[in-house]
Every structure is written in structure tokens, then in C-alpha cells.
Structure 1
Amino acid sequence: MLHIVKTIDSEELNVETFFPEKFFDPEASITEHRNVTGHTTSYGIHHLLYFQNICIGRSMVRSKERLLLNVEYDFSSVVLEFAVSVVNLAATDGSKKEWINYSSNQHNILFVANSNFQHIHQPSDNIELIRIHVDPDFFKRFLPEKKVFDPFRKQLDMGMLARLNEFNLPITPEMTAVLQDIMATQRKGFYKRIMIEAKVIELLMLQFEQYENFILKPFCQSIKKRDIDKMHEVKTIIESNLQTPCSLIDLAHLVGTNEYNLKKSFKEVFGTTVFGYLSQIRMDEARQLLIRGEMNINQISDYIGYKNANHFSTAFKKHFGYNPSELKQ
């Protein structure tokens, strides 16, 4: 089964890889590959893990220039797609029509069948994508028998290019924790396979549950536009004050609301709490600084607002599943 990735505007990367046959082999054991790609304008760390029905790929990339990638599949797969950290990732279908567009901290579920895409990555020092390919028959075992899922089920049965939701939804802290458990597990062999399969099923549950809640009660339907704008203003304030973050009361006063509405509205708009978002962007900024290699761990800890480097290292490992010293190496 062929999975092809090619750059459009550069000859530096032109890769054709066969999708792991173990994805289709019921007798296959769990297999992992880790590799690094380096070119004059981009650098990436890639982790691939697979066994029957499931193939997980995680890529962390930095690129000085826009990346245009052709992605081709000659087989059918359901893809749990998590754009952990991107700068406006767009994907177009074979007709060059934009099919999906991700911002950071968004996810969706896709169905691809003999499909061609063009992925457009904007320049960034901090691109992280996790894609979990799941065999369609395996996926159908867990797809809820509810009306809200019928359109996706129908497209799946017809072999049509499809996405579960017209709108990408926010990656919740629960989803982040499950993804971290998958990527950081120290289990081996059979037990690792059981653990990962269980975690993928848990991710499906979280995505299905969030989607159903969204359909029944769309995010932000009870919030006025001016209040949504206030939440985006809060988000900007948080991003601009990593070293000395504002209290909830101060944030509320700065945008003209109260603490209760701030907490309620922020979570409804962004799918996470104020402090959950603060922690997320601190960790993302720390990882970006580590990749650049211009500051040591103590300096980074201080830069993003931690008074103690050990506390920072603990928080970093809890968030990403590995120590900051491992990334710096």
C-alpha cells in the first residue's frame, strides 16, 4: 500500500514510502521507527508506530519556508488528525479546492480512500502533527449507532472522501493526556500493543463525545459576538504575558467582564480553561526555544515564567512525555 509525500516547490525532499504492511497483518507485532530529516530550509523529527489496524505517526518540524506537500493514498483509512501546533495548515483535495484548514490545538476525523491532497504548511519553528490511521472496519466497531453519526457512516460505506465534522474542534486536555500516554509509554511488546489500542479507543470516545455535544449544542451558541471578541482579547493578553501572567480577576477587568463569565466563556470558545491555555502555550514556547538551542533550560524556565527549573522540567515532561533535556540533545 503506497503512501507518497513529495514537496512541490523544492527538490530537497521527494519521498515515496510503502505504508506498513503490518497495518493489515493480524499476526504482526508492534513496530516502531524514529528518524530525522534535515535540509537547508527544514528539519524534522518523526516517530512511526504500527501494528494491525493502527498506525500512529508524530512529526515535529521546523521550516524557514512554506512547505507544499503532495500526499497520496492508494488505500482506505480513517485518520484521527491532531494539529497540536501549526500555523494555518491547509489541505486541498485533488481538485485544488480547500478541504480542511487547521489552526493550532484542533482535531478532526477524516476518511481517505485512494485520495490525493496538497498540504500547505506556513513557515514555523514549531509544527507538530499527530495522525492516527485506523482500519475502517476497526473504526466501524466503535462508531456510535446514533443519527448524528449517520452522514459520516454513509460516506464511509460509500468509500467517499469525508470528514466527521465541518468544523475542527479544540483538542481538550483529556485528549492531550491520552496522546502523551501513547507517545511516552515505556511498556513493551504485547502489553504496549494492548495499552495503545485501548488509548486509541479512548481517543475515539473523546472525539465522538465532543462531536455529539457540539452538534446538540454548538460551541459559542449562547455567547454574544462581543463576548467572543473579549475572549480572543483575553487570549492575546495571556500570550503577551507569559512571564508575569494576570490573575483571573485582572483578566476579567481588562476586557470588561467578571470572573465567572470569563471562566465559562473562555472554555466554551477555546475548549480549555484559562490556566490550561496558559500552560499549553508556555510549554509550546519552551519546546520552540529548546529546538532553537539558543537558551539553556534554566534560561527557558525563567523566560516562560517558572521560578524553579525543576518545576519547569516536571511540567514539561508531564505535558510532552519526555524531559526538556532529551529534546535539547
Structure 2
Amino acid sequence: MIKLLIAEDVKIVRETLIHAINWHALGITLLGAVENGEEVLAWLEREEPDLLLTDIGMPKMSGLELIEALKVRNPDIRCIILSGLNEFDHARQAIKLQVLDYVLKPIDPSEIEKVLSNAVEVLRKEREERLALTLAEQTAKDQLPNLSEALLRGEWTGSLKKKKLVEQAIQYVKESYMRKELALSDVASSVGLSDKYVNLLFKEVTGMTINHWIIRLRMQEAARLLKDPAIKIYEICDWIGYADQDHFRESFKKQYGLTPSEYRNKFL
């Protein structure tokens, strides 16, 4: 079960969230619901949640300030923002903080259940990946006596090193994809490799080139932002690193089979 904590200063909203959501059906254990960020930080001294659902406009500490504090304390805690502040600047900062989703008030329990269901799926996949990595590391330790010859040839260490370099490249792209001038050479420089070699290495590990990976990431972020009707399409285009709206429209349609406007209309 995924452990979730709610931070919401409005009592009626807090009570609605507690009682209107079928937490068990979502695979979630609701730890509790508190009024502000300071109470969240105090709660963390006793027990850490996997997921935080937090309002933005709270006394003592805003939801965004709370998320920043959580990132320092435990970056594995994932966050969803709940807010009546229908402003793009808040969405922009939320994206920088890598929140899972951004839900506007007034709250709709069915919409929140969908968002939470997606969040649970993300967290479960992350757990599976961590478990797989742990098992792989344990297997490697168990097989160490039989790996001496491979280690001497550099096969084992070479494979791990390639994976680590690609992970570093991916992290750089995630932090930089909003830059319009982001290029393959920038990614290569971030890991200290040539353009050609890093692209070959990236494709070997992920199955796609760096440019294709950047486009896919940008389109995924665009699709997420398009669900919020308050954010203009040209703002999304600018935010994800596209200088030309026509280019953005073509890339999005190629990825999803719909133009940005058509995709947005599905959620209106």
C-alpha cells in the first residue's frame, strides 16, 4: 500500500478528501490530514509518507515551500498539488519541483481519484525498478567469485559504467529540456563524451537517440500541462522549449495523433 498524507488548511476540503475518496480501492493508506506545512514536517519525525497531497495557499508555509523542504529531507517523497490558484506561475514552479500532478479547486473527487491512481502506478513502477536494481546488485555480489574473468576483460564494469553515464545524461536532460537551445553537444558535455559516442551509448541502453528522448519528454510534459485549461497553449510551447508553435503542433500530433487543441478538448 502507498502511504499518503494530506496538507490542507480549509477544514471542509480536508474532510471531503478524507471521506469522499475510496482510499483502499486505490491501494492507498491515508496516514492523516493536517492543516499546514509545519504539521507535515512534524509528522515526518514519526512516519514518512510515500505521497503528499498538498494545497498551495496555506498559512505559515506555502505548499511550494513545503515541497522544497521535503526535497531536501527526502527526495523520494512524491507530491501532488491541490490549489485554487489558477495561475501559470504556480504551475511553472510546480514543474520545476517535479510534482506528479497539479489539481485545481473546486475539488472533484472523481478527478482526484484518477490523479491518485496514476500516482500510485508511478510509485509502484519506481518500487519495482528499485527492487530490480537491488536484486541485480545482490546477484552481482553472489556471482563475484565467477566474475573474475569477465571483470579482467572489463565486461561487467563496462556495462555498469555505460548505464551510469546514460543515467547522468537523462538527469541532465530532465533538468534542461525547457531550454530552447538544448542540443546533443550540451548533453555530451555534461557526461564528458563526444556527441557521436554519447548518442550511440544512449541508444544502446534506451533504444532511442537523445533527440528522440528529449522530444518524447517534452511532449509528455505538454500533455500533462494541456489538461489544465488555465495554461495557454503558447505558454506550454514556450515552457517546454519550443520557439515555434507550428513545430510544437507537428511534434505533438506525431506523438499523440492529435493536435494540442484536440488533445485539450478531450479533458474539457
Structure with more of its chain in helix, by fraction: 2
Structure with more of its chain in strand, by fraction: 1
TM-score band (shorter)? Answer: 0.3 to 0.5
Q: TM-score when scaled to structure 2? A: 0.44
Q: TM-score when scaled to structure 1? A: 0.37
